[in-house]
Chains A and B, each alone.
Chain A
Amino acid sequence: MDTSEKQTRLLVDLHVKYIQSLDTKKDDLEYWLTEHLRLSGVYWGLTALDLLNNVDALKKEDVVKYVVSCQHDNGGFSGHIGHDPHLLYTLYAVQILVIEDALDAVNVDKIVEYVASRQDRDTGAFTGDEWGEIDTRFSYCALSCLSLLKRLDAVNVSKAVEFIMLCKNFDGGFGNSPGAESHAAQIFCCVGALAIVNSLHLVDADLLGWWLCERQLKNGGLNGRPEKLEDVCYSWWVLSTLSILGRLHWINREKLIEFVLTAQDSEGGGIADRPGDMADVFHTLFGLTGLSLLEYPDLKPVDPVYCLPKHVVQRIGLAERYHHKEFQ
């Protein structure tokens, strides 16, 4: 912490430049080792740019063309051209296309077919791909994706909810599968999924709210589980859930803003997992979405359920599926 300069403002221009530069770093080995995350990277970058009022910093035509090239015959999308389709990337693709208002560029029926085929009809769970990994992350991916496509009718929603509820724990949180420990990112997936299908009444908001607000540490940052280190990405996973539950004001706004701002790279742009570390586009987005939920100036509001700019969710006519509570 001491080695990094204390930042007191959001470095908007630097972050825009940083995101624009990501696809030029081809002489870094890292660029090639993360190829399987390319489509996710586009979603993280594009959403961040939109929140920064700079969605045009990436050329729409190029973005859409790239996303289209990641779709497979079975309807699913892969992390990069030629890689295998997976539910994770299918959601990222749909999110990007919704931001760009370009769903007509792909075969939506095929996407719906792919997502629906991932549901286990007996348990209601979703598998990430044909190899069968089950995780509540995939429940979120499926429900969010179908909701954005207005095709929730394609799956058994009550079964999906049943499975998510099997993953609920003694602390009011949720794990990745029945029996698994609560984890903030997993909790976002489960609570977000429940919000999408109007089932928030199943969440013990006071108990879970308590668990979530205890994630804030003395340095202002949030961790994802008790007794773990703080990380900027939990500014999203924890805050979004608190926001959905109408309890965003249960943490200290100023301290968290300070923490996220200090994790900015004041030279190269971007936000890191914690102050002094290397910035990356994943933490850049989740730092910004966190700040947006905290109503930091100069940022567009983000929807805590869909992790998309609010104006995008409004444009496609989806209702707000979370509790309102002004930051006091």
Chain B
Amino acid sequence: MHARKRAKPSAEAEKHRKEKEATKIKEYKNLVESCFQKKDKKEFDNDAFILTTNILSQNPDFYTIWNFRRLILLSGTLKECSEEEKQQTLSSELIFLQELFQLNPKSYWIFNHRRWCLETMPNPDWNKELQLIGKVLELDARNFHAWDYRRYVTPKLSYATETSLTQTEFDFTTTKINQSFSNYSAWHQRSKLLPILIKEKNLDELEKKKLIDKEFELVKAAFYTDPDDQSAWLYHRWLIGQGSNISTSQMDEEIKDSSIKSSERIELLQREINVVRELLELEPDSKFCLQTLITLLSELKTNTKEGSKKIDDEIITFCDRLIKIDKFRTKRYEDLRSKITLSQQQNH
């Protein structure tokens, strides 16, 4: 349904297409009808299996046919057979899926069936799955089915081999981010892995700080390269631990709970404020610079007693600049500005 160009074929071309399609429709309808007859009669035989292959090759989103195929396998080939035969049957299923996947890299049902095969197999090769999905992500680094599948495979492999894959998966996101700073999927994945990494490595305060500072370096490199890409800025905001969503997350326990003292917090905020200010000098119209400064300054204000009026005034100036720069989202900046002016009025 997505991204198919609208064409205006001539009446003749349309007639020709319909004629050609008529045969295909007839064949397809026959296949489906025969398959449903088998299904209704609960005939889980090889003919039925072949029918499902033929239908799914044309239409991998036909979920009922996948369900029927699994029933055929469960009540036929996979029943009362040796482990070896079982392995072989499901391995050929994986090959079939592989072929379908090439043509339909975004079908939920193909991934569902793949998971079922591996979970039903006596000896699933999780390592091979990881390699495979790595290749898929090379072709399309943002395919979220593929990222989901990767997150599904790694704990299985980790469990099977009794080794943690957190570091290697973390490194995988580094590779992806270095290939493209705009790979939001990789930044996201990193936000999931960093807290686990810290926990697993049992880092002391100093080591932890070093690791997190390295993250700040990476994210800085990213937004210096492309200040207009939201990905790095969101990661930066998360790293700072400003958003209220952070307050319940693991990250919070790991970073804040380990009692970064108020003075350290202020130091961190000021350091980052300076980093972003420098970039703003180079990119005076960068809306994400301005927004990040607003977030950082707002927190700095709650941490320091002096200069809050000055900070508020600066935030209001930034809001005004944003209203001019980012025409599509002026109301958001107006809301932000009203919040500040309202609190100023209340304090006086």
Contact = CB atoms under 8 A, between A and B. Distances in A.
A250 B331 contact: yes
B16 interface: no
B245 interface: yes
B244 A84 contact: no
Size class of A's contact patch? 35 or more
B157 to A, nearest CB: 15
B328 A255 contact: yes
A284 to B, nearest CB: 11
Contacts of B116: 131
B70 A131 contact: yes
B188 A181 contact: yes
A328 interface: yes
A252 B235 CA distance: 25
Contact of A252 (B5, B142, B185, B329): B329
A22 interface: no
Interface stretch (A115-123, A191-199, A274-282): A274-282
Contacts of A180: 144, 147-148, 151
Instruction: Report whether over half of chain B's contact residues are helix, strand or loop; otherwise say mixed.
Output: helix
A254 to B, nearest CB: 10
Given A33-B59, A180-B148, A252-B328, A133 B112 contact: yes
A78 B64 contact: yes
Nearest to B243: A207
B133 to A, nearest CB: 14
A172 B243 contact: yes
A147 interface: no
A28 B9 CA distance: 14
Interface in A270-308: 272-274, 276-280, 282-283
Interface stretch (A59-67, A220-228, A315-323): A220-228
Contacts of A78: 64
Given A226-B182, A255-B328, A170 B234 contact: yes
A277 B64 contact: no
Interface in A226-262: 226-228, 231, 247, 249-252, 255
Given A131-B112, A204-B244, A204-B245, A247 B332 contact: yes
Interface in A77-124: 78-79, 82-84, 86
Contact of A216 (B148, B249, B328): B328
Interface string B259-296: 00000000000000000000000000000000100000
A216 to B, nearest CB: 5
B18 A84 contact: no
B303 to A, nearest CB: 19
Q: Which of A226, A252, A273 has the most CB of B within 10 A?
A: A226
A172 B234 CA distance: 10
B21 A28 contact: yes
Given A36-B64, A247-B332, 18 more contacts: A27-B18, A27-B22, A35-B62, A36-B59, A82-B64, A129-B67, A133-B108, A170-B246, A209-B332, A227-B142, A227-B184, A227-B229, A252-B329, A273-B3, A276-B6, A277-B3, A277-B4, A278-B4
8 contacts: A32-B28, A129-B67, A168-B245, A170-B235, A181-B188, A274-B3, A277-B5, A278-B4
Interface of A: 4, 26-29, 32-33, 35-36, 78-79, 82-84, 86, 129, 131, 133, 168-172, 176-177, 179-183, 204, 207, 209-211, 213-214, 216, 225-228, 231, 247, 249-252, 255, 265, 267, 272-274, 276-280, 282-283, 328
